[in-house]
Amino acid sequence: MTRARLPAPEPKVGDVLLRDAPLARLEFALDDGSVALHAGGRRVRFEGVRATSFLGPWDGTPGTVEWLRVVGVDAREICLELRVRWREVPRVYRMVCAAVVVA
């Protein structure tokens, strides 16, 4: 028996990809234009980043991902918002990328 790996469903506007997760690490890979977010034991990779308001390098300040949600999708790009609570003050970051992979 052979097993085929099915492609993940495309995200839709309103999908919440991550919620209430302690932020562990952010990785910025300038060579391939990607950002990886590690939170609550999950890894979210933003591929083909076109624009972002994420700050880097992240200095390790404790934070909690309140939510990561899809706010726009078209044929070539996905727009996302990430709300992080840093100690007491929440911040909303935006990302426009070609693909997002949640593992």
- Domain-embedded: residue 40: yes
pLDDT of residue 16: 96
Instruction: For residue 27, list its beta bridge partners.
Output: 36
Predicted TM-score (pTM) of the model is 0.85
Higher pLDDT, 54 or 76: 76
Tokens read off for 23: 């932020």
Read off the pLDDT of residues 63-99 as tens digits, 9 standing for 90 and up: 999 999 999 999 899 999 999 998 778 889 999 999 9
Let me know if residue 9 belongs to a domain.
Answer: no
> Residue 43 pLDDT more than 90?
yes
Here the contacts of 90-95 (C-beta below 8 Å, separation 24 or greater) are 90/66, 93/52, 93/53, 93/54, 93/55, 94/51, 94/52, 94/53, 95/35, 95/46, 95/49, 95/51, 95/52, 95/53, 95/54
Instruction: Kindly state the helix (H) or strand (E) to which residue 14 belongs, with its residue range.
Output: none
What total number of domains does the chain contain? 1
4 found inside a domain = no
Per-residue model confidence (pLDDT) at position 24: 92
What value does the mean pLDDT of the chain take?
88
Domain that holds residue 20: 16-102
Q: What is the torsional sign of CA 24, 91, 50, 102?
A: positive
76 within a domain of the structure (yes/no)? yes
